[in-house]
């Protein structure tokens, strides 16, 4: 079998950047950014995307493009809907027309976070924010338009590329003597590299499978274990100190606060833990503890600053 043709959207984001490397081992990748497809405005037209799919006629479409500014989405709902709901549906329809399969990424924010334990794929969704609502709409659009789909819900993405909580903690940890971090939201920091490598592993299995294969569908993809933003911050700053970063704030002196103490525009789920049994059992995927991915990102950032 010849190498598959892969169309990757959102190539400059955290996950998209990691996918460029991971997918290159699987096939020939055409990588596009939001800017290149004129997706940076609320009234963006999907025609460029449709034309590109028809021109390339890929075997696989991987959509890592998204509107991820969670708080900003509350005042910019149409732009968020364009990127998170309309675009995925257009891509999935185009994939179906050219006989491609599609991979689309979603989020723990489709849940309201009130469940006691980890969320399963079949649990009731109830997003609390515009971001969560539009991501759920995107899931639904993809599933409706293309039977050969993989929708991967993930959480708390971290990478040496792009912006994220870990990099924010490193920056302000060097600037401030004190720090307050939310301690009542639970999840699993998940590295973009793990997401990208797992995506490739799934595609190696599913690329040649027909629409009738029951393995197509929604999966939860997150690192093992769980933590809070507070303990995550303590871990990052303590590890960074050991690696020689000039961290001003002592990790043990970080103040734990509640969500109510830190008001933001968009409501967050208190429980973002995703049960990953389905993806592990179906595909034999190994998902290491969250600290492993965080350690790798810290090591890379430490090398880059020398």
State the greatest distance between any 2 C-alpha atoms of the chain, in Å, as a whole number: 58
pLDDT of the residue at 44? 56
pLDDT of the residue at 41? 47
By the 10 Å C-beta count (0-12 exposed, 13-18 middle, 19+ buried), 2 is classed as: exposed
Residue 80: CA count within 13 A, CB half-sphere? 19
For the chain, the DSSP string reads: -PPPEEEEE-TTSHHHHHHHHHHHTTSEEEEE-TTTTT-SSTT--THHHHHHHHHH--SEEEE------TTGGGG-HHHHHIIIIIHHHHHHHHHHHHT-EEEEEEEGGGS-S--SSPBPTTSPP---SHHHHHHHHHHHHHHHH-SSEEEEEE-SEE-SSS--HHHHHHHHHHH-S--EEE-S-EE--EEHHHHHHHHHHHHHHHTT--TT-TT-EEEE---BS-EEHHHHHHHHHHHHHHTT----S-GGGPEEE-GGGS--SS---SB--B--HHHHHHH-----BHHHHHHHHHHHHHHHT-
Percent of the residues in the chain that have a pLDDT greater than 90, as a whole number:
90
pLDDT of the residue at 39? 57
- What average pLDDT does range 157-174 have in this prediction? 96
Q: How far, rounded to the nearest angstrom, does the alpha carbon of residue 19 sit from its chain's CA centroid? A: 11
Q: Is residue 166 part of a domain?
A: no
- What average pLDDT does range 143-163 have in this prediction? 97
Q: Is residue 79 part of a domain?
A: yes
Identify the CA nearest to 189 among candidates 217, 213, 158, 145: 158
For residues 255 and 176, is the Cβ–Cβ distance under 8 A?
Answer: no
The single residue of 131, 219, 232, 235 carrying the catalytic annotation is: 131
CATH number at residue 63: 3.40.50.720
pLDDT of the residue at 36? 67
Q: Tokens representing 157?
A: 């993405």
- pLDDT at residue 42 tops 60: no
State pLDDT tens for residues 54-86.
Answer: 999 999 999 999 999 999 999 999 999 999 999
Q: How confident is the model at residue 48 (pLDDT cuts 50, 70, 90)?
A: confident
Residue 289: CA count within 13 A, CB half-sphere? 7
- What average pLDDT does range 170-181 have in this prediction? 94
- What average pLDDT does range 281-289 have in this prediction? 98
State pLDDT tens for residues 226-255.
Answer: 999 999 999 999 999 999 999 999 998 999
- What average pLDDT does range 132-158 have in this prediction? 98
Q: Is residue 46 part of a domain?
A: yes
Q: Is residue 129 part of a domain?
A: yes
Q: Is residue 296 part of a domain?
A: no
Task: Tell me how many domains the chain contains.
Answer: 1
Is residue 232 part of the annotated active site? The answer reads no
Residues 6+ apart with CB under 8 A from 76: 42, 67, 69
Q: Is residue 75 part of a domain?
A: yes
55: containing domain: 5-160+190-224+273-287
pLDDT of the residue at 37? 65
- What average pLDDT does range 88-101 have in this prediction? 95
CA distance 285 to 31: 25
For residues 219 and 206, is the Cβ–Cβ distance under 8 A?
Answer: no
pLDDT of the residue at 306? 73
- pLDDT at residue 281 tops 60: yes
pLDDT of the residue at 34? 66
């Amino acid at each position: 079998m010849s190498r598959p043709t892969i169309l990757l959207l959102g190539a400059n984001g955290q996950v998209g950047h990691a996918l460029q490397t991971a997918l290159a081992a699987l096939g020939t990748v055409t990588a596009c950014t939001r800017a290149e497809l004129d997706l940076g405005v609320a009234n963006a037209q999907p025609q460029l995307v449709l034309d590109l799919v028809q021109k390339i006629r890929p075997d696989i479409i991987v959509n890592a493009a998204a509107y991820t500014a969670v708080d900003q989405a509350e005042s910019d709902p149409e732009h968020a809907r364009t990127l998170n709901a309309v675009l995925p549906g257009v891509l999935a329809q185009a994939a179906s027309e050219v006989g491609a399969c599609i991979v689309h990424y979603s989020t723990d924010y489709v849940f309201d976070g009130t469940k006691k334990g980890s969320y399963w794929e079949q649990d009731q969704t109830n997003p609390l924010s515009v971001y969560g609502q539009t991501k759920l709409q995107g899931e639904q659009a993809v599933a409706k338009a293309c039977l050969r789909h993989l929708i991967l819900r993930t959480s708390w993405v971290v990478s040496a590329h792009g912006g994220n909580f870990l990099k924010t903690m490193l920056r302000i940890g060097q600037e401030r003597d004190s720090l307050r971090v939310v301690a009542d939201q639970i999840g699993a920091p998940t590295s973009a590299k793990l997401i990208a490598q797992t995506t490739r592993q799934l595609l190696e299995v599913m690329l040649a499978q027909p629409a009738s294969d029951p393995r197509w569908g929604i999966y939860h993809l997150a690192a093992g274990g769980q933590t809070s933003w507070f303990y995550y911050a303590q871990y990052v700053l303590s590890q960074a100190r050991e690696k020689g970063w000039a961290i001003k704030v002592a990790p043990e002196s970080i103040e734990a606060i509640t969500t109510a103490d830190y008001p933001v525009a968009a409501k967050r789920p208190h429980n973002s833990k995703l049960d990953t049994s389905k993806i592990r059992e179906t595909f034999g995927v190994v998902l290491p503890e969250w600290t492993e991915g965080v350690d790798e990102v810290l090591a890379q950032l430490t090398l880059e600053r020398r």
